[in-house]
């Protein structure tokens, strides 16, 4: 384990799903491309993004990176919380 030392490595952790990450193991991801958000979730995420992009115009360039990071984190949490309902 080399570059992984940078991160807080844990063999097992749980957020919304259990995860096991053995050191030096080969990992694979399975996903479905048939999933669609319910229309209201999609509309809400899209509206939030449009509002956010408008608000960026009023923010100084050097402050934008942090704002974009925080916005993306919130959008991810909304999506993740929605998906967690269907685990």
Residue range 4-45, pLDDT digits in tens: 454 565 655 555 555 666 777 777 777 666 667 788 888 999
| 1 within a domain of the structure (yes/no) | no
| 2 within a domain of the structure (yes/no) | no
| 65 within a domain of the structure (yes/no) | yes
**Which residue segment(s) compose the domain that 32 sits in?**
7-84
Count of domains observed in the chain = 1
Annotate 31-52 with b (16+ C-beta within 10 A) or e (fewer). eeeeeeeeeeeeeeeeeeeeeb
pLDDT at position 7: 54
Reported as a pLDDT band with limits 50, 70 and 90, residue 68 is: very high
pLDDT at position 15: 59
Q: From CA 83, how far away is CA 87, in angstroms rounded?
A: 7
């Amino acid at each position: 384990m080399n570059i992984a030392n940078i991160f807080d490595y844990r063999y097992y952790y749980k957020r919304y799903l259990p995860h096991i990450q053995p050191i030096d193991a080969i990992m694979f991801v399975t996903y479905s491309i048939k999933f669609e958000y319910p229309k209201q979730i999609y509309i809400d995420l899209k509206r939030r993004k449009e509002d956010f992009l408008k608000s960026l115009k009023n923010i100084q360039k050097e402050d934008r990176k942090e704002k974009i990071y925080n916005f993306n984190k919130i959008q991810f949490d909304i999506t993740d919380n929605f998906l967690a309902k269907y685990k």
